[in-house]
Amino acid sequence: MSESDHGETNRRDFLYIATGAAGVVAVGGSVWPLVSQMQPNEREKAAGAPVEIDLSAIEAGQLITVVWRGAPYFIRKLTESEIKAAEDAGQAEFRDFQPADERIAAPEGGSKEWTIVAANCTHLGCIPTKIDTGFEGWICPCHGSKFDVTGRVTKGPAPINLPLPPFAFADADRLIIGADKA
Amino acid sequence: MSGHSTYNPTSGIGKWMDARLPLARLVHDSFVSYPVPRNLNGFYTFGGILMIMLVSQIITGVVIAMHYTSDAATAFESVQLLRRDVAYGGTLQAWHAVGASMFFVAVYIHIFRGLYYGSYKEPREVLWILGVVIYLLMMATAFMGYVLPWGQMSYWGAQVITGFFSAIPLVGETVREYLLGGYSVGSATLNRFFSLHYLLPFMIAGVVILHVWALHVTGQTNPTGVEVKSKQDVIPFTPYATLKDALALVLFMALMCYFVFFLPDYLGHADNYIPADPLKTPAHIVPEWYFLPFYAILRAIDFNIGIPFTDIVLIDSKLGGVLAMFGAIVVLFFVPWLDTSDVRSANYRPLYKVFFWLFAINAVFLGYLGSRPAEGIWIPLMKATTFWYFAHFLIVMPLLGFFEKPKPRPASITDAVLGKAELSGASQLAGSTAAPETKS
């Protein structure tokens, strides 16, 4: 097969390489569908379309959990004291610091009082439970990660803050999760 | 060890078959005339027990799969139906579920026996590595099997364990979506886990064949760690090892039956009788007991690893925990080379013996910590025990070979057996020493 066997490249060398290359393509082509079928199917993808949530009934201090793409999301209307605590908290308390301002959302013309975050702990996906005492937000029952009222991680194994989903306010009372434009 | 065959077919059919497919010869040479060291103790019976457990799991599994539906909407109900309304369904399901636990009881004794008697040392490295592969496949199979009843622990166990893959940098989330077949654990996930749970035991069976093959090439070790040197050192597998294995199996099965018939749910979790709810995490997620030590290691790493005095994070806490957990198993692959001592058995290694038991106690304590919530005093304890787990393999094992002064070893297995007999005052053993397989 190698050149040294016969001094110069001949037709057989070409055939060896061409056959080998065709074999690689054939194996790759067969493996591709076997792996590709693992991904979420079309119906699953279609069911992942954005969802609209009515916010009008939520009082300050209240938390609701909504589902998008089979995963839960927290929508929490913060009280004034909670907002103040989140803004006053020192940078050193957080592992993955982001200013409170970036974590609290507002509809157009409305006040900044909404925390909208994925409800799966960024460690291994358990759903953190709300802490009702003090200004701490959530604690994860699985491995003890703690998050403040805006979903920023303060303790435990979670590496990053609860992520913000793509969302947009259609108007003051209607929130769309899954799209960043209304 | 596999010397020339002593199989001697007498019947016409036996001779005819032997000339065409010598299957009976293979069985005879492997399980009848196969020579085993004469001093094997009870701990050497667990290999046979494990083989029977694999067969038992496959048989009960095939049968209860006939009553199972792998759709998220009906899976929980189908298992309850199996347990309550199918003839003997409750027993068969319990046998399979308890069987998984007992399988791990046996495999842990088998692994610790190997660690104590240095069974992994040259020339048995490949034998040991195949064993670790079987252990890994067992863990994957057991995990996916636990998801199938689709209770709360099933669901959240799947959530946590598939979450490991999202720790992979850059492509983690995509890998997880491919594993789940969706954006979250759901019907697609359950279906593929069922498919793989059915497949993996047969792959285990394949690796078991390689494991036994490798064992029969090198021959078994024994409590002295001294290799077989003469015919006096060995006895034929049948009837000696066969009957010893059978006796151990009966005792093991008696224990298993106690759980199956009187405490079928003792080793499980009550939360798994609540149907899976994607919106509610159980207050305290714990894996099955046999994963607890690794769960403790996973949770021990709650800090980022970065370059000191900078904010640069090399490995975040999530990836770190997952790496430590997988590392705890991967390190087993390297044990044959991490142990630098040329003495096999801990019986002749005074220091290793102490460290072995420290390791065993530490491993059990890790399991206990795995069942505790990740808070307060438990976290530093998890860190300390995790450190010791790795230190045993990466520091103690390599160093002991240089510092330890081993005790004198017997010249042969027969010498060791005789020495013991003299100590205990038995005197008429001379005849049985010359031909240990015949009664004097």
**Please, what are the domains in chain B?**
38-424 (1.20.810.10)
Of the partner residues B178, B181, B285, the one whose CB lies closest to the CB of residue A141: B285
Kindly report the backbone phi and psi dihedral angles of residue B364, in degrees, each rounded to the nearest multiple of 5, phi listed first: -65, -40
Spatial neighbors of A49 by CB under 8 A, at least 6 apart, are A178
Rg (CA), chain A: 26
Kindly report the backbone phi and psi dihedral angles of residue B396, in degrees, each rounded to the nearest multiple of 5, phi listed first: -65, -50
What pLDDT shows up at residue A134? 64
Residue written as tokens 């089979």?
A70
3-state SS, one letter per residue, for B322-348: HHHHHHHHHHHHCHHHHCCCCCCCHHH
A182 — pLDDT class (breaks 50, 70, 90): low
What pLDDT shows up at residue B34? 93
The C-alpha of A157 sits at a distance from chain B's nearest C-alpha, in angstroms, of: 4
B76 — pLDDT class (breaks 50, 70, 90): very high
> Does the pLDDT value for residue B337 go beyond 50?
yes
What pLDDT shows up at residue B41? 94
**d(Cα B65, Cα B167) in Å, to the nearest integer?**
33
Best probe of the B interface among A123, A131, A136, by most B CBs < 10 A, is A123
Of the partner residues B278, B299, B319, the one whose CB lies closest to the CB of residue A70: B278
Structure tokens at B302: 């709650």
Helix pair B242-262, B89-116: axis angle to 10 deg: 130
Q: What are the beta bridge partners of residue A116?
A: A75
**Angle at the Cα of B332 from the Cα atoms of B220 and B285, rounded to 5 degrees:** 120
Over residues B274-298, mean pLDDT: 90
- Are A124 and B160 a contacting pair at CB < 8 A? yes
What pLDDT shows up at residue B106? 98
Best probe of the B interface among A42, A64, A124, A138, by most B CBs < 10 A, is A124
Over residues B190-206, mean pLDDT: 97
The C-alpha of A30 sits at a distance from chain B's nearest C-alpha, in angstroms, of: 18
* Mean pLDDT across chain B: 91
On whether any CB of chain A is under 8 Å from the CB of B282, the answer is yes
More reliable by pLDDT, A83 or B124: B124
What pLDDT shows up at residue B349? 96
Q: What are the beta bridge partners of residue A140?
A: none
The C-alpha of B319 sits at a distance from chain A's nearest C-alpha, in angstroms, of: 9
Do B285 and A126 meet the contact criterion of CB atoms below 8 Å apart? yes
- Are A157 and B186 a contacting pair at CB < 8 A? no
Minimal Cα distance from B285: which residue of A? Answer: A142
> Does the pLDDT value for residue B257 go beyond 70?
yes
> Does the pLDDT value for residue B309 go beyond 80?
no
Of the partner residues A70, A124, A143, the one whose CB lies closest to the CB of residue B182: A70
> Does the pLDDT value for residue A132 go beyond 90?
no
What pLDDT shows up at residue B200? 97
More reliable by pLDDT, B290 or B307: B290
More reliable by pLDDT, B430 or A121: A121
Do B156 and B186 meet the contact criterion of CB atoms below 8 Å apart? no
A50-59 as b/e: b if 16+ CB within 10 A: bbebebeebe
Residues in chain B with CB shorter than 8 Å from the CB of A141 are 281-285
Of A27-41, A55-69, B182-196, B207-221, the one with minimum mean pLDDT is A55-69
Interface of B with A in 23-42 (CB under 8 A): none
- Are B156 and A39 a contacting pair at CB < 8 A? no
pTM across the whole model: 0.87
What pLDDT shows up at residue A21? 97
Over residues B254-264, mean pLDDT: 96
Q: What are the beta bridge partners of residue A105?
A: A114
Best probe of the A interface among B164, B166, B183, B294, by most A CBs < 10 A, is B183
Number of A to B CB contacts under 8 A, please give it.
Answer: 102
Best probe of the B interface among A120, A127, A142, A177, by most B CBs < 10 A, is A142
**d(Cα B50, Cα B58) in Å, to the nearest integer?**
12
What pLDDT shows up at residue B420? 57
Structure tokens at B143: 């995990």
Query: Residue B205: helix, strand or coil by DSSP?
Result: helix
Residues in chain B with CB shorter than 8 Å from the CB of A124 are 159-161, 163-164, 318
Do A55 and A48 meet the contact criterion of CB atoms below 8 Å apart? no
On whether any CB of chain A is under 8 Å from the CB of B285, the answer is yes
Minimal Cα distance from A36: which residue of B? Answer: B178
Of A40-49, B149-158, B200-209, B252-261, the one with minimum mean pLDDT is A40-49
Do B76 and B151 meet the contact criterion of CB atoms below 8 Å apart? yes
pLDDT in tens, B29-74: 999 999 999 999 999 999 999 999 999 999 999 999 999 999 999 9
What pLDDT shows up at residue B98? 97
Kindly report the backbone phi and psi dihedral angles of residue B313, in degrees, each rounded to the nearest multiple of 5, phi listed first: -100, 120
* Mean pLDDT across chain A: 87
> Does the pLDDT value for residue B252 go beyond 70?
yes
> Does the pLDDT value for residue B167 go beyond 90?
no
Which of A82, A86, A78 is closest to A106 using CA atoms? A78
Would you call B274 exposed, middle or buried from its count of C-beta atoms within 10 A (0-12, 13-18, 19+)? middle
On whether any CB of chain A is under 8 Å from the CB of B222, the answer is no
Residues in chain B with CB shorter than 8 Å from the CB of A51 are none
> Does the pLDDT value for residue B185 go beyond 80?
yes
pLDDT in tens, B39-51: 999 999 999 999 9
End-to-end CA distance of chain A: 64
Amino acid found at A117: V
What percent of chain B clears pLDDT 90, i.e. is strictly above it? 79
What percent of chain B clears pLDDT 70, i.e. is strictly above it? 95
> Does the pLDDT value for residue B422 go beyond 80?
no
DSSP state of A177: E
Catalytic residues of A: 143
Of the partner residues A48, A122, A125, the one whose CB lies closest to the CB of residue B159: A125
Kindly report the backbone phi and psi dihedral angles of residue A26, in degrees, each rounded to the nearest multiple of 5, phi listed first: -65, -45
> Does the pLDDT value for residue B394 go beyond 50?
yes
- Residue A60's H or E segment, with its range, is none
CA B434 to chain CA centroid, Å, is 37
Which of B201, B202, B188 is closest to B75 using CA atoms? B188
**d(Cα A146, Cα A155) in Å, to the nearest integer?**
5
CA B47 to chain CA centroid, Å, is 10
CA A117 to chain CA centroid, Å, is 9
Residues in chain A with CB shorter than 8 Å from the CB of B160 are 124-126, 142
- Residue A28's H or E segment, with its range, is helix A11-36
B230 — pLDDT class (breaks 50, 70, 90): very high
What pLDDT shows up at residue B307? 79
What pLDDT shows up at residue B431? 44
Spatial neighbors of B105 by CB under 8 A, at least 6 apart, are none
What pLDDT shows up at residue B198? 98
On whether any CB of chain A is under 8 Å from the CB of B292, the answer is no
- Are B184 and A126 a contacting pair at CB < 8 A? no
Spatial neighbors of B320 by CB under 8 A, at least 6 apart, are B301, B303, B304, B305
With an 8 Å Cβ cutoff, the interface of chain A facing chain B consists of 35, 38-41, 44, 48, 65, 67, 69-72, 95, 120, 122-127, 129, 141-144, 156-160
More reliable by pLDDT, B357 or A2: B357
Of A163-172, B57-66, B206-215, B384-393, the one with minimum mean pLDDT is A163-172
A108 — pLDDT class (breaks 50, 70, 90): confident
On whether any CB of chain A is under 8 Å from the CB of B375, the answer is yes
The pairing of beta strand A153-155 with beta strand A167-171: unpaired
**d(Cα B369, Cα A31) in Å, to the nearest integer?**
42
3-state SS, one letter per residue, for chain A: CCHHHCCCCCHHHHHHHHHHHHHHHHHHHHHHHHHHCCCCCHHHHHCCCCEEEECCCCCCCCEEEEEECCEEEEEEECCHHHHHHHHHCCHHHCCCCCCHHHHCECCCCCCCCEEEEECCCCCCCCCCEECCCCCEEEECCCCCCEEECCCCEEECCCCCCCCCCCEEEEECCEEEECCCCC
